[in-house]
Amino acid sequence: MIKLTQIKKNKNEISCMALVEDCTIPFELIYNIKSDEFQPYELPKGYEYCKSHIAHAKRELERISKKEICPQERLIMWY
């Protein structure tokens, strides 16, 4: 699970705060729409294994980039 909050979209990028699994420490993700890449980010200590969570977040932010209206929050879950 990854929760994206404070999602903000401008012409070139989407920024948000992210929380992975049961972690209480948010970290910032900035997705560049044109390059389809994140700016450098750092997962919280003890959650370095959550790389697949970032891939799920990237897919969702890519979807959001194509929409007119940007949601403020997204909860992404899989199993």
pTM to 2 decimal places:
0.93
Residue 49 inside a domain? The answer is: no
Residue 17 inside a domain? The answer is: yes
CA distances for 16 relative to 8, 33, 38, 64, 79, angstroms: 6, 13, 11, 12, 23
Range of the domain at 71: 1-22+67-79
| Helix H or strand E segment including 3 | strand 2-9
Residue 50 inside a domain? The answer is: no
Residue 1 inside a domain? The answer is: yes
Residue pLDDT, tens place only, 3-59:
999 999 999 999 999 999 999 999 999 999 999 999 999 999 999 999 999 999 999
Binning pLDDT at 50, 70 and 90, where does residue 79 land?
confident
Residue 31 inside a domain? The answer is: no
State how many domains the chain has: 1
